Amino acid sequence: MQSLIEKAKVAFDKAPAEIKVTPSIPILYFGDYEAYSRSTTRIVTVGLNPSLNEFPEVKPFRRFPNAEISYTDALNKYFQNCPYDEWFSTFDYLLKGFEAGFYGNSKNTALHTDLFSPVATDPTWSGLNERFRNELGNFGRPLWRELIKFLKPHIILISIAEKYCENITFEFVQRWKGIFTIPRSRPYVIKHAIIKISEDSRADLLFGQAAQKPFGTLSNEIKETIGKTLKNKLSNW
């Protein structure tokens, strides 16, 4: 873990000053790693990079108190310290279907990670130009890969623009295919793939299109149904 923390700090130091939220810290992951590591089913969710809302203008470190004393403790207690619920709660019901959650009141504890960077930016990812995205991703993408190898999740839930899934560079044991469809005029399809994390570790990937927020066009009832339906139908990790 310590080497990952050091690499997150390097990514933070190398991030362009004109887009880096200041003051802030790099966020290697969100959630209680100790509880995650004890979970029967280890679930990781994926975004692009931390929101600028993680560091409000008024009291920027209220979500990460005492981070300068214990960085890992600040990360592990994130969901106990005024988390950005408006965004993270959108995962709640899907995680609930898998008997999991971020907030420590579930059978399994999930963690959130960011594919491109541990650095909060202003503007957010969609507003960054190609140069800034590349500069952040040059450090962030390999860091995310190393983090996933360390965390060894059973399930990875992804809700971002689909084009960004190309940045998942693990070997695919099974390529993407539809596994759950919500009938609509334009059907919403949950896609499934399996990646090889290490010789003895595989992970199921579940992807659903984002809409400002993860799985944003789905009702809470449908999200929970997806989790309950799929939790016993994935690979035999």
Tokens 């500069």, residue located: 135
Altogether, the residues listed in the chain come to a count of: 237
Q: Is 140 part of a structural domain of the chain? A: yes
Q: Is residue 185 over pLDDT 60?
A: yes
Q: Is 237 part of a structural domain of the chain? A: no
Residue 231 CB partners (closer than 8 Å, separation 6+): 41, 97, 98, 99
User: How many structural domains is the chain composed of?
Assistant: 1
pLDDT value, residue 212: 85
Q: Is 48 part of a structural domain of the chain? A: yes
pLDDT value, residue 164: 95
pLDDT value, residue 237: 56
Share of the chain above pLDDT 70, in %: 99
| pLDDT, the chain, mean | 94
89 vs 95: CA distance, rounded Å: 10
- Token representation of residue 141: 């993408």
Q: Is residue 81 over pLDDT 60?
A: yes
Is 102 buried (19+), middle (13-18) or exposed (0-12) by CB count in 10 A?
A: buried
Output the pTM of the full model: 0.95
Q: Is residue 221 over pLDDT 70?
A: yes
pLDDT value, residue 182: 94
pLDDT value, residue 211: 87
Query: Residue 172 sits in which domain range?
Result: 2-230
Residue whose C-alpha is closest to residue 197's, from 157, 154, 158: 154
Cα-based distances in Å from 188 to 154, 158, 171, 211, 214: 24, 14, 26, 12, 13
Q: Is 9 part of a structural domain of the chain? A: yes
Q: Is 17 part of a structural domain of the chain? A: yes
pLDDT digits (tens, 9 = 90+) for 115-165: 999 999 999 999 999 999 999 999 999 999 999 999 999 999 999 999 999
DSSP structure class, residue 129: -
Q: Is 200 part of a structural domain of the chain? A: yes
Q: What is the b/e burial string over 132-143, where b = at least 16 CB atoms within 10 angstroms of the residue's CB?
A: bbebbbebbbeb
Q: Is 62 part of a structural domain of the chain? A: yes
Q: Where are the beta strands (DSSP E) in the chain?
A: 43-47, 100-101, 108-109, 111-114, 155-158, 171-182, 188-198, 201-207
Q: Is residue 236 over pLDDT 70?
A: no
Share of the chain above pLDDT 90, in %: 90
Look up the CATH number of the domain holding residue 224: 3.40.470
Q: Is 235 part of a structural domain of the chain? A: no
pLDDT digits (tens, 9 = 90+) for 26-54: 999 999 999 999 999 999 999 999 999 99
Rounded to the nearest 10 degrees, what angle do helices 2-14 and 130-151 cross at?
180
